[in-house]
Every structure is written in C-alpha cells, then in structure tokens.
Structure 1
Amino acid sequence: MTIRQKSYKFRLYPNLDQRIMFAKTFGSSRAIWNMMLADKIKYYEETGKTLRNTPAQYKKEFPWLKEVDSLALANVQLNLQKAYKSFFNSGFGFPKFKSKRHRQSYRTNNQNGTIAVSEGKVKLPKIGWVKLEQHRQMSGTIKSATISMSETGKYYISILCESEVCPLSKTGLSVGVDLGIEHFAILSTGEKVGNERFLKTLSKKLAREQKILSRRALVAKKAGRKLSESANYQKQRIKVAKIHEKISNKRKDFLNKLSTELVKKYDIICVEDLSSKNLMANHRLSKAIGDVSWSEFVRMLEYKAEWYEKQVSKISRWYPSSQLCSECGYHSGKKPLNVRNWVCENCGSCHDRDINASINILNEGLRLA
C-alpha cells in the first residue's frame, strides 16, 4: 500500500454571488500573473537579473486584489516561478501573458479545513459552500482544489487528495497493444478495440455551426461591433464550444475506461513509444491521429499502472513490429498500409498485420521488462 495523490473532478453549481466571486478571482489571478511577468521582464532588461516579486507588493496599489483568496494569488506566483525555471533549465518556452480567452481557473490550498466536502456541497475560501454534483466518493486528505470555467460557461472543481492506494491483485497475464486508426487498439490476444472516431462522428454538425459562427463574425465586423458585444455571435460561439466539449468528454471517457480495464486485467502492458507529433506531419492522417489521442492513452496507462503496481513496457518506435513474423522472426521488409494480411516467406504462416504486430510488441516488451 502506497501514498498517492489523486484528483476528483466534479461539476459546480454556484449562485449569482458565487459566480461573481469566481469571476473576480479568475480576473485577479490573471492580472497578478501579467503584472508580475511584465515587471520581471522589465527588471531583467534593465539589470540582467531576475526580479523576485510577490503578489503582496501589488495589493497596496491595487486594493481589489485583497477581495479574493490570497492563496489563489500565491499559487500564481509559484506557477510563474515554475514556468521561469522550466524555461531556463530546459528551454521549454518563455512564459506568456494571459488573456480572457485563456482557460479561466485558479488553485487554492486546504489549510485547517478551509476546503471541505459535505452533503453535496464544497466549502471554498472566500466563497463559502457551493453546490456540486458529487457522482463518486472521495478518499484521503484534501490537499488543494482547482476551480475552472469551461468555454460553455460551466464550472468545475478538481479536488486533489492524498490517500493510500491498494495495489491490484496480480493476474499473471501480459499483453501487447498495437495502436492504430482503423481499430484504436489491437491486442496480442487477437481482440480488436474499435475506433469510435469521435471527431468524425460530429464533424458535419461542427462544420455547419462553425460556418454560421464565421458569418455572424462577418456581420458584426461590417456593423462595426466588437465580437464581445455581439449577442448573436456569442450565442453561436457557445454552440460550437459545446460540440467541442462533447467530443472531448466522450474521448476522455473512452480512454479512461479502456486504460482502467487493461490495468486491471494485465500485469505487464507492452506498447510502442509513438511520437504523435511526427506522425501528424502526414497531412492525410493528421486529423485521424489527433482524434485517437494515442499519447493521452499511454499517459493514462502509465500513471494507473504506477498507482496499482502494474507495469507498462514501452518499446522503441523504430522497432519493426509489422515487418517481423511472430512465428519464426523472419524480417519480410516494409509493407504499404493497404496490406492488412500477409504470408511469411520463410515459414508460410498467415498473419493479420495488426495482430502480428501486437504479438511482436508483446515479445519485445517482455524482453525489455
């Protein structure tokens, strides 16, 4: 049994006063980030050194910062320091200024019970008790909470808890997983998991609504109105955002369920170390590759396997899994994508391309594990 951090995400239903307070906290967090970043840049240009500023230094000049949760502003400072550290250590990317178009969120910490969940409500600093839809039970000690607002105007809270996680019982089984587009996952057991194609399913509806959105933007422009002041444009923008949200939610649900099922069933899961960024350079396949979210699926497998003391074995992306015969190991060379079945020239075995690849992934993954 090990101590792990696990987050629980629920939808919030704040009243009018609470929505106003959330908006103030979102805006203050964004403002303090931009002010601190601007001062850091200016100070570095003048002195060549890094400015160590804090949110408290701005509260005298901007007293409205005192109205919101101080821990939310303190977390902004920590996030900015982390962004600077990542830039100087790994060149990850220089911190950027935030606008209202960015994701609206803030994080606060639990100090002596300032965050609590009871009877379908959550207590938050400076906000009070907010109604939430608690669809599952939480366990462990609450460490922090992140409150966010989606593009469609929905409020969510992600509560981070620290709790003991019991390892899953060992099954003695291992599996190789070949990720694809025609089928999302092909297992070495011969099972094929279908590709739900969430984006393609709603692509016609999305294209239609986006076309209407473009027209309304053009009408607002001709009338000399800002898009933020155009009611028709904003209504249509929310319609488009709801479709994107539906696609994202369905995809996350599918990936979570499949990854959990595999971790429960198998002790060792062998997958390829794919680079989705490089694969998406193929413009014919980029949309389909982006829709399947292989990297997110592998990430889920890895953290769930770590939680429950299972193992994910990743093989090299250059390993010729589809070119080797899983029976005799004969290397038959590269094959075009339209070849789905082939016969080994050495031993005569007839192979399904994807199942053969998943068996080779399993064998190589077990060797590395």
Structure 2
Amino acid sequence: MKARYQYRFYPTNQQRTSLAQLFGCVRVVWNDALALCKQSEKLPSNGELQKLVLTQAKKTESREWLSDVASIALQQSVADLGTAYKNYFDSLKGKRKGKKLGSPRFKKKINLQSARLTRGGFSINKETIYLAKIGDVNPIWSRELPSEPSSVTVIKDCANRYFLSFVVEVQPIQIDSEALASLVCDTLRERASAKNQSIGIDLGIKTFAFMSNGEKAESPAYSKPDRKIRKLQKKLARQQKESKRRNKTRLRIAKTHNQIADTRKDFLHKLSTKVVSENQTIVLEDLNVSGLVKNRKLSRVISLQGWREFRTQCAAKSQKYQREFVIINRWEPTSQVCSECGYKWGKLDLKVRSVQCLNCWTEHDRDENAAKNINKVGMGNRHDSKCTSRRSNATRSGFCL
C-alpha cells in the first residue's frame, strides 16, 4: 500500500530561480506532448513522445534549454501524460470508479506548478534533501518517513508556497496467532474506552454539526475572508491582463483562499478526531452535495463547509480507531418525524427551527431532532417497523471482529 507524506520547505533565491526553470521546462514538455497527441489520429506511445519532445527537441535552437534541467523530471512529465490519458479512457469505458474524468488539458504558468523526480533524481541526507540540479533543501520535518520514498514531487502552489510530496510504500503487518489474540484484546479495550455507544450527526450551515447527544460544533467564520475574495475578484476583473498589479491581486486572492482552506482543514481534522475517538458508532446522512450547490443562494456557503471532506475523514479515522461508520439513505425523513414517539408531521420550511409534536407534545429543536433520528436509523431503532426492517438504508463500514 502506498501513502503520501508532504512537507513544506523554503528555498533560497537561487533555488527559486532553478525551480522556476524546472517547472517551466516540465510545463513545456507536457504541452508539446499533449499537442502531438491531439494532432495524431492514434495516440503515440511514451517512448515515441519522449523521442519527439525530448531527444529531438533538445537538438533544436527553440528547445535546447531543456538540457539545463534534470532529464528525469521531463521524462516523468511525459509518463504522467500517458497515465492521464489512460485514466481518461478508463473513465469513458466505465473501468474507473467515481466521477467522469475529462481529457488532459494544457498547463498554464499561473496555476499550481509541479515536477516529479524518481529515485535517480533525489537523495535523502539526514535532514536535507538533494534535488538534481537544484541543490540541498531543508524541509520542515513534521513527522518521520516510514520507509524509503520511491518518488518526490516538488510543488509550488498559487500562493508561492513550496512543498515536497513523498510517495512511500507501507507494508501490511503480518499477524500470527498470538499477535491476533493480542490485537483482539487491544480492540476490545479500545472499544470499551469509547464514551458513547453511538452518535448521529446532522450537518448544517450555521451550525456545522449537531450531535444526537445535544452537542454542537460551530464552523469557523469564513464570511470575512470570503467577502475579501469577492472584492479582490472584482478588482482583478478590471485590471489589465499580464500586468504586475493584476499579478499582485491574483496572489492576494490565492493567499486568502489558502487561509480559508487551512482553517477548514484544521477544524475538520480536530472535529472528526474528537467524534471518532469518543463514539463507537458514527452515523451520518448521505447528503446530495452536488445537487445542493445548484441552489444559487446557498451554493457559496455550502461549498465553504466541507461536508464531503468531513465524511471522508470520519470514514478513514473509523478504521484507524476501530470504530463502525454508518451512512443512512438520503431519503430518510429525519426532519419530519418525532424522535420521541415516531409521529410524522411532514415537511417543514427551512425557517422553522423548532417544532412541537402533536402526538406527545414534546418540543424539539429541528437539528437536534434530525440528529437523533439519524442515530436511530443507523442503529436500526426506528419507531416505524417497516423502516427498521429495511437494512439496505444504512451502509456500514469500519473495523469488525
């Protein structure tokens, strides 16, 4: 199994110049190879493309500067283009799961820049990393690499931040009978350490997560930097293209975007870790996020929340902490049913935040009632026996013994 470890580093001025040259050469090779692929009736092989855009191109005056950078990065750029076309064709044929992929596109200078080096293009010397024709760089080692990396990708994002992304091989652990018995004991001990048996989570906008136990998780304030982005985007639209002032505005927009992304990532990681470590079973609702963002009044606010990312983190950490992760059907009427007696009162407008049941006269908060119903559906404890019998409404994953 392969894993990716990413570290930030701060290059010197001379290294910035060398990296800019490397990124430019990689981008030119990609675009030249992609142009040949689009002009050809039959897709050329990687060997044919490397011969055309590297070996023969270096002999011409217009591309002789390709010899100034590491050839491994240029070869990997052609190989990555072949992988991109393979994934595109597999997506068209239905062999690749997930969202349909588009055909490879030409790279731009202002977008994220990257260059990949294999084992012959870099080496690790204790605290420093040597990059071919770049020199030694000192990344911020936030954690140790579990094994020798097979490749490293040098990344420069839109906000001019530099990263090293390593691909390492993580070997599966071979467990004998004694180790398996010890693992079972550790698993039971870990499960016993959970504070709650199960928890249902209703995701929202103003309150990011409302738990079935009454706890709330308020999302960070994204409105101020989001308004700043919109103001800068209007300013960017009025400025002359390829001007220095326009580039400064673009850089300010990228930095503000990174500020929002880093704040959201930190909040989601802390919340998901807390939820998974304290509960044995985590139940979420299968939200149709791609359909919800089509609402032009709420699309921007919904996109800032990161609901899908929270679900992905909870699913991954559930396996790590040996928890059970449950996703219930999106068509379950969790906001239309009383969580106490099961009486169904029907659909409610979004402006209605509290409701009183006409059967048991219990007054509910809308989000808390939905979270309790999500928990009951995930655990199979619905008041309606028909809904309880439909086990297909909940998708379960996680650690099991």
Identity %: 36
Q: How does 1:339-354 map to 2 (within 5 A)?
A: 339-354=352-367
Number of the residue aligned with 2:96: none
Number of the residue aligned with 2:134: 127
Deviations 1:108-137 (A, max 9, x none): 2346x9342633x33334433102223344
For residues 175 and 69 of structure 1, the distance between their equivalents in structure 2, rounded to whole angstroms, comes to: 53
| TM-score normalised by length of structure 2 | 0.78
Q: Comparing 277-286 with 153-162, which one deviates more in the overlay?
A: 153-162
**Structure 1 residue 355: Cα displacement:** 1.4
Deviations 1:315-350 (A, max 9, x none): 222221111222232322111111111122233332
Q: 1:153 aligns with which of 148, 153, 160?
A: 160
Number of the residue aligned with 2:209: 185
Deviations 1:85-112 (A, max 9, x none): 333232321222222133211222346x
Q: Comparing 128-137 with 203-212, which one deviates more in the overlay?
A: 203-212
**Structure 1 residue 184: Cα displacement:** 0.5
SS in 1 for 2:105: coil
Distance 1:141 1:290, change over 3 A: same
Q: Comparing 169-178 with 319-328, which one deviates more in the overlay?
A: 169-178
For residues 329 and 110 of structure 1, the distance between their equivalents in structure 2, rounded to whole angstroms, comes to: 62
Deviations 1:59-98 (A, max 9, x none): 2222244443444334433432333233323232122222
Distance 1:27 1:297, change over 3 A: same
Given the alignment of the two structures, is residue 201 of structure 1 paired with residue 224 of structure 2, yes or no?
yes
For residues 189 and 115 of structure 1, the distance between their equivalents in structure 2, rounded to whole angstroms, comes to: 51
SS in 2 for 1:158: strand
Q: Comparing 71-80 with 251-260, which one deviates more in the overlay?
A: 71-80
Contact 1:116 1:124 in 2 (8 A): no
Given the alignment of the two structures, is residue 60 of structure 1 paired with residue 67 of structure 2, yes or no?
no
Q: How does 1:1-369 map to 2 (within 5 A)?
A: 5-44=2-41, 49-54=42-47, 56-57=50-51, 58-63=53-58, 64-91=65-92, 92-110=101-119, 114-116=122-124, 118-119=126-127, 121-163=128-170, 169-170=190-191, 171-172=193-194, 173-198=197-222, 200-215=223-238, 217=239, 220=240, 227-228=241-242, 230-367=243-380, 368=394, 369=396
**Structure 1 residue 21: Cα displacement:** 2.5
**Structure 1 residue 164: Cα displacement:** 6.6
For residues 117 and 298 of structure 1, the distance between their equivalents in structure 2, rounded to whole angstroms, comes to: 38
For residues 315 and 76 of structure 2, the distance between their equivalents in structure 1, rounded to whole angstroms, comes to: 27
Distance 1:290 1:144, change over 3 A: same
Contact 2:111 2:157 in 1 (8 A): no
Considering Cα pairs closer than 8 Å and 6+ residues apart, tell me whether 1 or 2 has the greater RCO.
1
Q: Comparing 97-106 with 74-83, which one deviates more in the overlay?
A: 74-83
CA RMSD of aligned residues (A): 2.7
Distance 1:5 1:338, change over 3 A: same
For residues 175 and 141 of structure 1, the distance between their equivalents in structure 2, rounded to whole angstroms, comes to: 40
**Structure 1 residue 175: Cα displacement:** 1.7
For residues 330 and 287 of structure 1, the distance between their equivalents in structure 2, rounded to whole angstroms, comes to: 35
For residues 73 and 215 of structure 2, the distance between their equivalents in structure 1, rounded to whole angstroms, comes to: 47
For residues 268 and 150 of structure 1, the distance between their equivalents in structure 2, rounded to whole angstroms, comes to: 38
SS in 2 for 1:9: strand
SS in 2 for 1:202: helix
Aligned AA (2:107): K
For residues 306 and 28 of structure 1, the distance between their equivalents in structure 2, rounded to whole angstroms, comes to: 42
Distance 1:74 1:301, change over 3 A: farther
| TM-score normalised by length of structure 1 | 0.84
**Structure 1 residue 208: Cα displacement:** 4.0
**Poorly superposed stretches of 4+, deviation over 6 Å:** 164-168
